[in-house]
Amino acid sequence: MTGSGDSVEKQVENLTAEDAREEFLELQTLLWAANREYHSSDAPSISDADYDTAKRRYLDLLDQFPELRKNATQAATVGAPIADGFTKVTHAVRMLSLGNAFEDEDVQNFDTSIRKYLGLDREAALSYTAEPKIDGLSLSLRYENGELVQAATRGDGETGENVTANARTIQALPHRLTGAPAILEVRGEVYMSHPDFEALNARILAKHQADPNPNKKEPKLFANPRNAAAGSLRQLDSRITAERPLRFFAYAWGELSEPLAETQWGAIERLAALGFETNPLTAQCSSPADLLAHYRQIEEQRASLDYDIDGVVYKVDDLSLQERLGFRSTTPRWAIAHKFPAELAWTRLEAIDIQVGRTGALSPVARLQPVTVGGVVVSNATLHNEDYIKGFDSKGEEIRGGKDIRVGDWVQVYRAGDVIPKVADVDLTKRPDDAVPFEFPTTCPECGSQAVREEGDAVRRCVGGIICPAQAVEKLKHFVSRKAFDIDGLGAKQIEMFYEDEHLPIRTPADIFTLQSRDSENLSKLEKRKGWGDQSASNLWAAIDEKRTIAFGRLLFALGIRHVGEVGARDLALHYGDWDVMAQAVDMARAAALAHRAADEAEEAERVAAAEHGRRARVKEARDRALAESNVPDAATAAWSDLTGVDGIGATLGLSLSDAFANSDERAAFDALRAHLTIVPPEAPQKDSPVAGKTVVFTGTLEKMTRAEAKARAEALGAKVSGSVSKKTDLLVAGPGAGSKAKKAADLGIETVDEDGWLELIAGA
């Protein structure tokens, strides 16, 4: 295992932007499945730690590759839909997950990012709390005038399961509080101690052994205390829950009629005074060094605790700073979970299969002799791309000491930072004599089309497009996914069925909306299928009809255009406001898009030529020359600048969008779908603010707030924040050091204010 840690680290460091994007696509289905298994079924196939580290993997990739925010759809996922049998509870305050840290450096970066966001220097005092992260089930308890009136699970973060009757049976939970705020939502973790867990399984086994029935089935024992706690709390019969020894640690809160305290530490002390059990290992810390010291202390005690923990949670202590830091889409900026290390294992590589994804990417997958890694049986692992298999990163530098990966090899597998296992190392001493280098295919294994690897791209892609079954099916699955059209009764399995159907095929998104009209035999074609009848078919027609009206941003995301994720789709929708306006603008920008692609190629060619001849690369000159020779019309240049000037969009997404609309087959599919839909334009988050609907650009140095705070505030007030100045810019906020943007704004006659002017403008909004 020597050097395995280096191999793992290099794998992360040497990911290309394309590798990162492919990993996002690869993780989407697995993360959603893990959510359902963990939160709805209480039968996860991956450990709690692996799920959390997968979320951290997303954040790590976002930090390294900011453009991935357009693809980070799964990062928005918290929990899972509620299970059948429970009524719904809408959380007054969302129950969010936490970002994760795995290395000491991550903890230091957490502190640095908070200071940067708040504009604090290194010497400024900043206090934290550190508490064990309990491996249990999240529960929110609502008290009104001191009475316990409701208990709910996390669910999907916004809507949970009403488990009030079950929660009332937990002896550790007070039913009435004295001296509490009129409205108090206490949040924490339901868990089961190790002794109680063992006793529960022993009782189940004893009951089975006492049953005289000779045909009795083997008893279903709980796999671990977390599953036992979750399964017990989510019983439909509260009498069963009452028989289970559940416990509860309080560590947070939701809706409050008045603050509990001014600090996290004070609030925890207040909860303890009200009668809730809080974790005695919680401590106040004044620096990252203190946090790490407390982490080590808890880690040393981990084996002796009578409950499961999988890390330590750090939170900014000052609640006013927590409020100022706010939240990302699914995680608070002011808290992070420092996870305990994951495990590694060695096993045999039995085969390498090639899978074709939604974007045509050929992804190699290692088929492994099953092995347990971190408490989970692993039989597959990702191999990224052909360079990775050969032992090189995207820059041509060696990884794993230059050792390639071959079928039959003895490989080390790890799961740190990701739910998808990875190959960290190869033991050459155990390599079979007949093992041969793996030949990566140059044709698509699904449709036989050519698989092309473009210059600078780490991934080989099938050029078949919609004629490739793998791409078509995956695009359709994405189209009906939860964050896209979310058509009830038409999921991944149904898409596969209809795609292969001879009578009622779904090959393009528009086919979904003509399905009923094509079923001319009064639903009989559907009724002939197993599990389908008149009622189920009618339900499907109703569900499809319900989605004929769709939000612009949601439609754009559903199309599955490469690089256009949920956030990017929303930003484009806000910028253009109308589908036809966007389509016309993208068409107008096509000539400029092609010119910029040619400029990229010229830049790369100059870089290569310079390296070959040992001279300094003149990439800017090569790029400028290529753009000058393209003779792009002014209208196309303006349209391209407007498209790529949308904050967070950029040239990569712009080129991808342009390619999709210029592809005749793709465009025909878009236009056919458009005919069946009513597209709802986006609404600004706040209509009555002085900047609602305006395009704002920030430039220079802001002294009273960070750039991130300014952008978040502007967007919350309904403004569009752009990264460049154009004729469509309404307001430029210029701090000290403003340069070319301020000059361009002046030339265009755009209103310009300083930071004080901006704060005065939005005061009270």
Q: Is 597 exposed, middle or buried (0-12, 13-18, 19+ CB in 10 A)?
A: middle
Q: Measured in whole angstroms, how far is the alpha carbon of residue 391 from the centre of its chain? A: 29
- What's the token pair of residue 150? 């409701």
Q: How far from 448 is each of 224, 302, 462, 465, 534, CA to CA, in Å?
A: 47, 54, 9, 12, 40
**Rounded to an integer, what distance in angstroms lies between the CA atom of residue 380 and that of residue 373?**
12
Tell me the residue ranges of DSSP E strands in 529-644: 549-551
Q: Measured in whole angstroms, how far is the alpha carbon of residue 241 from the centre of its chain? A: 33
**Rounded to an integer, what distance in angstroms lies between the CA atom of residue 555 and that of residue 484?**
7
- The DSSP bridge partners found for residue 741 are none
* Secondary structure of residue 188 in the 3-state scheme: strand
- What's the token pair of residue 518? 């094509």
> Position 64: which residue type?
Q
Give DSSP secondary structure letters for 279-310.
-TT-EEESSHHHHHHHHHHHHHHGGGSSS-EE
- What's the token pair of residue 177? 């509080």
**Rounded to an integer, what distance in angstroms lies between the CA atom of residue 64 and that of residue 327?**
20
**Rounded to an integer, what distance in angstroms lies between the CA atom of residue 584 and that of residue 635?**
12
In contact, 117 and 325? CB cutoff 8 Å: yes
Give DSSP secondary structure letters for 403-459.
----TT-EEEEE-TT-SS-EEEEEEGGG--TT-------SB-TTT--BEE--TT-SS
What torsion do the CA atoms of 562, 566, 571, 573 make, to the nearest 10 degrees? Answer: 90
Say which of 10, 55, 88, 133 is annotated catalytic. 133
Exposure string for 437-463, b = 16+ CB within 10 A, e = fewer = ebebeeebebbebebebeeeebbbbbe
- What's the token pair of residue 55? 């979320």
> Position 352: which residue type?
I
Give the other-Cβ count within 10 Å of 124's Cβ. 9
Interhelix angle for 707-716 vs 755-762, to 10°? 30
In contact, 457 and 428? CB cutoff 8 Å: no
Residues across the chain: 765
**Rounded to an integer, what distance in angstroms lies between the CA atom of residue 350 and that of residue 352?**
7
**Rounded to an integer, what distance in angstroms lies between the CA atom of residue 54 and that of residue 70?**
18
Give the other-Cβ count within 10 Å of 677's Cβ. 17
**Rounded to an integer, what distance in angstroms lies between the CA atom of residue 700 and that of residue 684?**
26
Nearest to 388 by CA among 2, 3, 14, 54: 14
Strand 731-734 and strand 695-699: pairing?
A: parallel
133 is annotated as an active-site residue: yes
Q: Sign (positive/negative) of CA torsion 171, 173, 174, 175? A: negative
Exposure string for 510-531, b = 16+ CB within 10 A, e = fewer = bbbbbbbeebeeebebbeeeee
Give DSSP secondary structure letters for 523-555.
THHHHTSTT--HHHHHHHHHHHHHTTEEEHHHH
Question: Catalytic site residues?
Answer: 133
